[in-house]
Amino acid sequence: MCFSLFFFFKTSSPLKPPSQMAGQKAEAKKSTNSNNVPLFSSKVTDLDVKLDNEIVYEFGGPLGVVGMMLGFPSLMYYFWICLEHHQGKLIVPAVWSVEGIKSFFWNDIYAAVIDGARPTVYAAKIYMGYIVFSFILASIMPGPVVNGLPIPSLKGKRLPYLCNGLAAWYFTLPFSAFLHVTGIFRLTDIIDNFGHIMTIAIMWGFTLTTLVFIASHIQGTNHRMSGNLFYDFFMGASLNPRVGVVDLKMWAEIRVPWPILFYISVSCALKQYETRGYITAPAAFMVLAHFLYVNACQKGEECIPTSWDMFYEKDGFMLVFWNMAGVPFTYCYASIYLMKFEETTGIAITHSLPYTVGLFVALVSAYYIFDTGNSQKNRFRMEQNGSYIARNAFPQLPYGHIKNPNYIKTAHGNLLLTDGWWGVVRKPHYTADLVMALSWGLITGFGSFLPYFYVCFFLVVLTHRVSRDMERCAKKYGKDWDRYCERVPYIFVPYVF
């Protein structure tokens, strides 16, 4: 893993042959703005409209999505029981008979859920309290307003997004510390009520999806509907649902899952400190890992309005449920495993110094590529969109903004960046994200699969996302996309894949 990161750093510039660079610079000469990135002023094309309206059954169509809507919550309960009661071991019926399976479901699953994950008023106060709190902050905190991409279904209109995530995050951090220290709300209550809170989150995921779905029908904002109720519920009806100044999709993606994930890890670390008097390196690692992720989302929020999720994905179960419940309550398994293992065995999971340091280095290095990779492309797109703003949110890393970038100009009008990490592979931010995800598992050792669930799941998600995205881009950019793929031939790792 460290080798591949090293490789990444070493190959960024040798991969650009001088002849290619000359060609790219020649294209760049046509540039118009101060950073040599032309503003993309053309209106939405007929092809944009066609692609935006195209209905393709994904995820196995209606049957597949029904399976997912039932399967996700069931899996979340199953994994939680394995972590809570079985030190992360994946349990199965003791006897494979009808009686054995019945007993497994009643005694091991149902009883555990009723005991530790039934909805409680206190859990609802914690979870819904945070939801309301974050929504209020999203409505009132100051921040720059950034325009999204032209929306084909709105005749090329560009929606404004209030990007106040950073102010909300900087308010939330000291406020939560205040609540904890004063005892008004002990952050350890999160992990003490984990199962109950997860159930409230699952219920809220379904409720919010339903509310947005119904509102879209009432307001007549349905878009790209397949006509199949289950499929449309899963994919969503409305493209850009809003309540006041709050864009529900952006709020759900940025403000809810990652801060909750971070606070779950903080809660585990604090619990360890309160019961044992120390915080182990792996527990601190998880707090750092989740801090970096949530902080990256807030500090780069102004880059989100030009992302695919904002201009293409609808606000259905897939986005809503996953952000409200799936991300925070499944991506946290490493933190919970570390805590539960110590709680049940009395032994804290720790590793040798080189292994631990190696993982910290891998995490921070991967974060660096993730952060700068996302900002390189997003800032480039914002420049093209005319919505670029310089912000000094901590940490601003070197190489996050490419001056006079190389790119391919497409017949469509859009530009494809072929510089920085984007000259090395086509999805540098995915590779870095996956390395971080892997490190979250590795820091727990090899005692359970569950801390690795995230990286496995994420690999499937990103592979699927890549294939969807490439298919769409190939249709959108035609020969220019082939040209781009020739210039940047590898997707994830140079010379490998």
What is the contact surface with ligand NDP in residues (CB under 6 A)?
307-309, 327, 370, 374, 377, 381, 414, 416-417, 422, 427, 429-430, 433, 465, 469, 473, 476
Nearest-CA neighbor of 323 among 262, 263, 252?
252
Query: Contact, 245 vs 261, CB < 8 A?
Result: no
Q: Least CB distance from residue 489 to ligand NDP, whole Å?
A: 13
**Residue 51 in tokens:** 């692609």
Rounded to the nearest 5 degrees, what angle is found at the Cα of 117, between the Cα atoms of 115 and 123? Answer: 120
Please enumerate in sequence order all residues whose Cβ is within 8 A of that of 281, keeping only pairs 6 or more positions apart, or say none.
350, 351, 356
Q: Least CB distance from residue 347 to ligand NDP, whole Å?
A: 31
Helix axis angle for 2-11 and 353-385, nearest 10°, is: 40
Q: Least CB distance from residue 265 to ligand NDP, whole Å?
A: 15
* Residues, the chain: 497
At residue 92, the 3 state secondary structure works out as coil
Q: Least CB distance from residue 199 to ligand NDP, whole Å?
A: 22
Q: Which is nearer to ligand NDP, 233 or 311 (CB)?
A: 311
Q: Which is nearer to ligand NDP, 237 or 462 (CB)?
A: 462
Give the C-alpha separation, 185 to 195, whole Å.
18
Q: Which is nearer to ligand NDP, 85 or 465 (CB)?
A: 465
Q: Which is nearer to ligand NDP, 131 or 297 (CB)?
A: 297
Q: Which is nearer to ligand NDP, 190 or 327 (CB)?
A: 327
Q: Which is nearer to ligand NDP, 187 or 382 (CB)?
A: 382
Query: Contact, 213 vs 236, CB < 8 A?
Result: yes
Q: Least CB distance from residue 422 to ligand NDP, whole Å?
A: 5
Q: Which is nearer to ligand NDP, 187 or 327 (CB)?
A: 327
Rounded to the nearest 5 degrees, what angle is found at the Cα of 21, between the Cα atoms of 379 and 489? Answer: 75
Q: Least CB distance from residue 470 to ligand NDP, whole Å?
A: 9
Q: Least CB distance from residue 179 to ligand NDP, whole Å?
A: 27
Nearest-CA neighbor of 458 among 295, 283, 330?
330
Give the C-alpha separation, 470 to 102, whole Å.
45
